[in-house]
Amino acid sequence: MYTTKVLQRRYIGLILPVLLIIIWEIASYIINNPFFLPRFDAVLAVLADPFRDRLGSGSLISNAIRSIQRVGLGFICAAVIAIPLGIMMGWSDRLYRFFDSTIQLLRPIPPLAWLPLALAWFKIGLTSVVFIISIGAFFPILLNTIDGIKNVRKTWLEVASTLGASERQLLLKVIIPGAAPLIWTGLRIGFGIAWMVLVAAEILPGTTSGLGYLIMYAYNFGQIELIVAGMMVIGIIGIAFDFLFQSVEKKKFAWRRLER
């Protein structure tokens, strides 16, 4: 009986998606208008042929790779600035106060609101997209890093200094490892936001490739099944990266959950 319970728990989350697909398939038969609701198997057929060129704009795979490259670049730019800045702001109250007001001012501006300015500065191309993505990823990484550093237990610092740690050793051997789980959480959230921002940025003017571009382009040709297939790829890639981040978290930072 134990195994059926485990199975129940494992598969209960699959019931609704399967049900939705069945409803979708039935509805598409009844509506019978592929420009309104494509059939599920038509979408599957698109997904099953991911290397095929679509509308002269590249395949699902090539566009996905393009999108991942962009998000990777933007994400890395954001992390490279946000983590050191967060460490400094978490460590020094003076630096925190110096930067905080500006950050609070810039944070509520949605990343996409920067797009016109980015286009004006960097013209159409990779730089402006990467810029927008960086802005999306930047704030969650920064804020979690600051939080992580500020929450490093005071006792750890005192133990380390009585054992003879220099300032540099405190930073490298206590503060950063102690803050690492929260920094990692920041990276994970930042990546998720970067991915969402990317696809939206690709839909807006300024790009000629990527998954966002592909689904918008497909709309112009009435290829609804390509739109839906593209959306699915976007979702799957998002889940895959989140899973990756989470599995590292479980492996490397288990202590944070387990320590009482």
Partner 1 sequence: MRLEIRNLSKIFVSEKGEQIEALSNINLTIDEQEFICIVGPSGCGKTTFLRIIGGLDVATSGTIQLNGQVITGPTPQMAMIFQEYSLFPWRTVIDNVAFGLELRGLPKEERYQIAKKYLDLVGLTGFAENFSYELSGGMRQRVAVARALAIEPKVILMDEPFGALDAQTRNRMQNELLQIWEKAKKTIIFVTHSVDEAVFLGDRVIALTKRPAKIKEIVPVIHCRPRDRTCSEFVSIRKHVLELIAEESSGT
Q: Which residues of the shown chain bind partner 1 in the complex (CB under 8 A)?
A: 153, 155-156, 158-166, 169, 173-174, 177-178, 180, 253, 255-256, 258-260
Determine the Cα–Cα distance for residues 145 and 90; give it in Å rounded to an integer: 7
Q: Which is nearer to partner 1, 3 or 259 (CB)?
A: 259
Largest CA distance in the chain: 76
Q: Which is nearer to partner 1, 122 or 156 (CB)?
A: 156
For the CB of residue 182, give the shortest distance to partner 1 in the complex, in Å.
13
Q: Which is nearer to partner 1, 127 or 247 (CB)?
A: 247
Q: Which is nearer to partner 1, 9 or 154 (CB)?
A: 154
Q: Which is nearer to partner 1, 41 or 158 (CB)?
A: 158
Cβ(141)–Cβ(82) under 8 Å? yes
The three-class DSSP label of residue 58 is: coil
For the CB of residue 164, give the shortest distance to partner 1 in the complex, in Å.
4
Determine the Cα–Cα distance for residues 97 and 50; give it in Å rounded to an integer: 50
For the CB of residue 249, give the shortest distance to partner 1 in the complex, in Å.
13
One-letter amino acid of 197: V
For the CB of residue 252, give the shortest distance to partner 1 in the complex, in Å.
8
Q: Which is nearer to partner 1, 97 or 153 (CB)?
A: 153
For the CB of residue 247, give the shortest distance to partner 1 in the complex, in Å.
17
Render the burial of 121-153: b for 16+ CB within 10 Å, e for the rest.
ebeeeeebbbbbbbbbbbbbbbbbbbbbbeebe
Q: Which is nearer to partner 1, 11 or 255 (CB)?
A: 255
Spatial CB neighbours of 89, under 8 Å, sequence gap ≥ 6: 95, 96, 99, 100, 142, 145, 146, 149
For the CB of residue 151, give the shortest distance to partner 1 in the complex, in Å.
13
Determine the Cα–Cα distance for residues 89 and 128; give it in Å rounded to an integer: 27
Q: What share of the chain is helix, strand, coil (3-state, %, to 5)?
A: 80, 0, 20
Determine the Cα–Cα distance for residues 42 and 225; give it in Å rounded to an integer: 6
The three-class DSSP label of residue 40 is: helix
For the CB of residue 238, give the shortest distance to partner 1 in the complex, in Å.
29
Name the residue with tokens 């395949």. Answer: 59
